[in-house]
C-alpha cells in the first residue's frame, strides 16, 4: 500500500461571482478532495499592479495562515495549494 504522502490531493474549482465591494468579482471556489479550502478572486480593479492575476480572498483549514502570492493563472494557484495540502 502506498504511503499516504504519495497520494495527490484532488483540487477542483468552480466559478462563482464574489461580492468584494470592488470590480474584483470573478471568483473560484477551491475544493480539495471535496472540501472547500479557498476562494480565489481575479483582480480586475483598474490600478491593481497584478490586474488579471488571481488572489486568495479566503483561505480555510490547512491553507489558513499561509501567506499566498498572487497567481498569473489557475494552474499556478492549484500547484501552490496542492503543495500546502499534502498530508
CA 17 to CA 9: how far, in whole Å? Answer: 25
Contact residues for 24 (Cβ-Cβ < 8 A; gap 6+): 18, 41, 42, 43, 44, 45, 48, 55
CB 77, CB 3: distance < 8 Å:
no
CB 71, CB 83: distance < 8 Å:
no
Question: Whole-prediction pTM value?
Answer: 0.85
Q: How confident is the model at residue 20 (pLDDT cuts 50, 70, 90)?
A: very high
In the block, cell 486568495 appears at 56
pLDDT at position 34:
92
pLDDT at position 4:
53
CB 60, CB 37: distance < 8 Å:
yes
Q: pLDDT per residue over 31-72, tens digit each?
A: 999 999 999 999 998 877 889 999 999 999 999 999 999 999
Amino acid at each position: 500500500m502506498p504511503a499516504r504522502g504519495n497520494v495527490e490531493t484532488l483540487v477542483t474549482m468552480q466559478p462563482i461571482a464574489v461580492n468584494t465591494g470592488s470590480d474584483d468579482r470573478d471568483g473560484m471556489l477551491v475544493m480539495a478532495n471535496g472540501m472547500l479550502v479557498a476562494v480565489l478572486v481575479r483582480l480586475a480593479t483598474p490600478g491593481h499592479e497584478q490586474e488579471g492575476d488571481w488572489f486568495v480572498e479566503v483561505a480555510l483549514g490547512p491553507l489558513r495562515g499561509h501567506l499566498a502570492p498572487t497567481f498569473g493563472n489557475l494552474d499556478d494557484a492549484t500547484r501552490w495549494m496542492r503543495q500546502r495540502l499534502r498530508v
